[in-house]
Structure 1
Amino acid sequence: MELLLISLASLAAGFVDSIVGGGGLILLPALFAIFPSAPPATLLGVNKSASVWGTISATFQYAHRVEMPWHALLPAAGLAFAGSMVGAWVVTQVSPDALRALLPLVLLAVLIYTLARKDLGRDHAPRFSGRRETAAACVLGVTIGFYDGFFGPGTGSFLVFLFVRWLGYDFLHASASAKLLNVASNVAALSLFAWKGHIWWHYVVVLGLANVVGSMLGTRMALKHGSGFVRVAFIVVVSALILKTGWDAWVRMP
């Protein structure tokens, strides 16, 4: 029964994550609820070991249907990997408590801005090209990669928002581009969790397959309905992130 429940949660997480990120809102609480006595690092490792396969699947699906600026994204993905590694090391030296309290406010600002700009992410009109686009994507990759390794919540949503707001992508292209960077930062985190022995390998195959199925369903829906649908999903996920991170930071804090 435990495996069935977390597999369903992994499928739902893959569905949400493939569209706009935020799958951890579903799978992580399920893992903590079903395995309350397990070390948090182990449950985080299980979450990463499942979600990385769905994110890889979504990246391949988007790449076949959406024009991807590989010249910018591949270097950015490499820096996202490096940034995530550095962030994961820094969190062993510095507490992220201040960031935990600030995060809901940052997400709220992102949500208000998105709601106020009705045309935000509607049209795909990249602001940069060539080396400038590569440089902008690399800054985004190393910064958000570091954040993912150091803290994590909302990484996918931040990537989508910044691709839309800073690089001028529509929500569909932003979501597709964000997936590749998210894969890189997830692989970095997963490598560290595996090295530290924080992964239950006997769950990886089943949860990974469930996540891939959810990811395939979500990606197809995003491709079918386009940027308008992804924008609505983005607003819903960011709203849920505000509630979740606000509760963790201000209500449930020790």
Structure 2
Amino acid sequence: MTELLLVGIGTGNPEHLTLQAVRALNSADLILIPRKGKNKADLAELRRTICEEVISNPATQIVEFELPKRDADNPNYRQGVDDWHDAIASVWAEAMDGLPDQARVALLVWGDPSLYDSTMRIAARLKPAPEISVIPGITSMQGLTAAHKIPLNTIGTPVLITTGRRLREEGWPDGADRLLVMLDGECSFQHIPSDGVMIWWGAYVGMREEILLSGALREMMDEIVETRAAARAHHGWIMDIYLLSREPEGDGESA
């Protein structure tokens, strides 16, 4: 049976890899690296750089594949995602075809495979089903709070992790003083009341291109929108994340 290693690699900094991740990558017979088009060539290059820095096993092969694109025009969002995941699983299966029994195949997953990532769901579609091992990694959430030198939580209160789409459509959820917002391509903080809200925003967190901005949402909103647009135009892609809080800055605990 093929073993599929889903290795969390942090947010683009090779130093984010755990010792467990390094060992897993060196145990792999094959490492699959996705290509996401010319504008996102940096992402494949970062994966290759990580492999060059940490892999010492000469028997490990590295194969790149073209990642299928999701049909963003499908009015049924969930069906569009399901179809996309089916297509990705088919590409993985083709790349692994012909491997010997008990081969180990690794995929380098940004951040951690458990946090707003579909790698495990896609892996579950493979037939025959491989044995799956998950190696956790540092998340952009951890990278953001570390870079801003802030705790994620305030004292005795919950933190809700959500997406930009849900923030736009549903507003600030009840029962949460802090929101960690991911997968937001439209700066959805513009769609909520800004009075009394703090924001800690970061792009390319943990990478040499890292950009950090923070302050009162009302004062920082336009600057973040403009900075994000300029960075995306310059690099051709962007990964960003932000934390919103209704509590005064500094009202948190680190233990």
Q: Which has the higher contact order (CA 8 A, sep 6+)?
A: 1
Structure having the larger proportion of residues in strand: 2
TM-score (norm. length: structure 1)? 0.25
Greater Cα radius of gyration, structure 1 or 2 = 2
- Structure with more of its chain in helix, by fraction: 1
